[in-house]
Each structure stands twice: as structure tokens, then as C-alpha cells.
Amino acid sequence: MNNLEKTIKILKKGGIVIFPTDTAFGIGCRIDDKKAVERLFKLRKRADNKPVPVLVDSVEMAESYLKKIPENVLEKLIKPFWPGALTIILKCEKTKITSLVRGGGDTLGVRMPDKKQTRDLIKGVGVPILGPSANFSNGKTPFKIEEIDKKLISLVDYVLSGDTKRVKTSTVIDCSKNSWEVLRKGEIEIKKNIQKNIVLDIDTATMDIKASLIVNGKSYSLRKKAQKAQILLSLIEEILRKHNLFLQDISRIKVNTGPGSFTGLRVGISIANALGVFLGIPINNKKIGELEEPKYK
């Protein structure tokens, strides 16, 4: 039995191990063993109301413990940066995760490490493993095995040897709200546009077709008089390009539902619905599929 197989066996039985990741040395146990989780918190002297990050080997594993991952999170964060040094906080399935892991809340910080050995470890266990840094609470983060507190080593069941790939912790971004927030700057640099609250406001009630962007409360508009509301798509493309933005940068959509012309409103609402479904974002502050019926003249 090699060291990785031994580590997997210990974790499966409810043990606690120290292991290298791509960023720092972590200390963890399987997510679904309440006693092991309680022991880990006690061992690290971590407060019960402070959540811990969780490591997964795939997006599919993350999806098993999270509410539906929004399309813009997938496109703007997960696809570009996973596997990697980015911890993403999202709404989770509370019934599957003990309160300690969540810090008593309804969110979960999840990361897919950019180290094959770590992903193989998680895959071998079959469930996510907790992945805080291998130190006592508020202690120094260890990036080399010799930097780990010997007292902490004496309290765990096994230490998996190996090296980390970086000397920085992961970036942590809270995506559980419409306006994303970087809670910790780390290895991954998040572009400012990603953190903005960007609203697409469209109005096709008259022949004066309008597409606006509301960026952190400030509005920018383009208008065009046209017989057909289909011109809206080109207006949206133009205003996004003008501000160096992409469809995936939009966090929500507003659309005029009337009163107005039958054809114009129908086109505007159809485009809003299509974009809402594609991006996984709300329309008129309503969930997808709950948009009110248009009010025609």
C-alpha cells in the first residue's frame, strides 16, 4: 500500500490527515463524518461559527452539495480558474452538510485544487474533504512540510508528504449574492468587471428601442428608432462592446413589460427570457420563469 492509498483509507475510516495541495498544506477529514468534523474543529481550536473550505475533485462533486450553480459563475469563474487557487462561496444543500462546516450558515466555500495528487485523494475518498490550512486557528499558513507545527502533527492520524505548487493561499470570492465580493486576495486575481453589479435594462415598448447598462448604479444607454424590435440584439452587443464587457458580466436584467406595442414588447421579453435562462440570472428581480405577462396597449 502506497502513501496515497494509506491516506485514503484513513480518511474513509473517519481519520484526520495533513496533506499538500497546490497552494498550501491542508488538514482535513471527509465532509460527511460529523464526529471527524467536530474533532477537526477542536483540534485546530477553530470557532464553531467560522466555516471551513471544502475541496472537490470535479465540478460534478461540487454540484452534489451546492444549490444550482449560476451560469455566470460557471462561465466567469469555474471554467477559467478550476482546477486552481480559487475558493467560490455559493448557496448549499444544508441537509447534506453539518452546521460546523457551514459555520451555521447556508453557504459553502468550494475549491478544486490544481494538484493531481490532491484530486486523486478526494476521488479515492469519494466525497469532498475539508481543506483549511494545516495550522492552529489564526496561526501561520504552512507552504512547506517543515513549516507545520509539530504539536499539530502529533494530533492527527497521518501526514501525506509532498510539495505545494505555490506560496500563496487561494483567492476567496463570495458569489452567494448578486453582487460578488472578494473576501481574500490570493493567487488568482479577479478582474474588477467580475465584481461589479451590472444590470442590462431593455425597452422595446415603442419604436424608440433602448438598451442600457446600469453599472454599480450608474446608467449608460443606447437608443435607436426602428420599425422592428429585433434591432435590440445589435444594440446590446454594441453597448457591451463599448464598455469592454461580455454577456457573462451581466448580473441581472430589467425589461419593460408594458404598456406598449404587442410586437415590440413580445420581442423584448423573449430576448430577456432567453438571456436570463442562458446566463442563469434574474429578470425584473424575479426567478427564471416568473416574469409577469406583458401589458399591451
Domains belonging to the chain, first-starting first, are 3-190 (3.90.870.10), 196-279 (3.30.420.40)
How far apart, in Å, do the first and last CA atoms of the chain sit? 76
227: how many CB neighbours lie within 10 A of its CB?
10
CA–CA distance, 177 with 224 (Å, rounded to integer): 33
pLDDT digits (tens, 9 = 90+) for 90-144: 999 999 999 999 999 999 999 999 999 999 999 999 999 999 999 999 899 999 9
pTM of the prediction? Answer: 0.71
CA–CA distance, 8 with 241 (Å, rounded to integer): 49
Burial label for 109, CB within 10 Å (0-12, 13-18, 19+), is buried
Task: Provide the pLDDT for residue 258.
Answer: 83
Contact 201, 219 (CB under 8 A): yes
pLDDT digits (tens, 9 = 90+) for 177-200: 867 889 999 988 887 656 567 899
Q: Which residues 6+ apart lie within 8 Å of 272 measured at CB?
A: 202, 253, 255, 283, 291
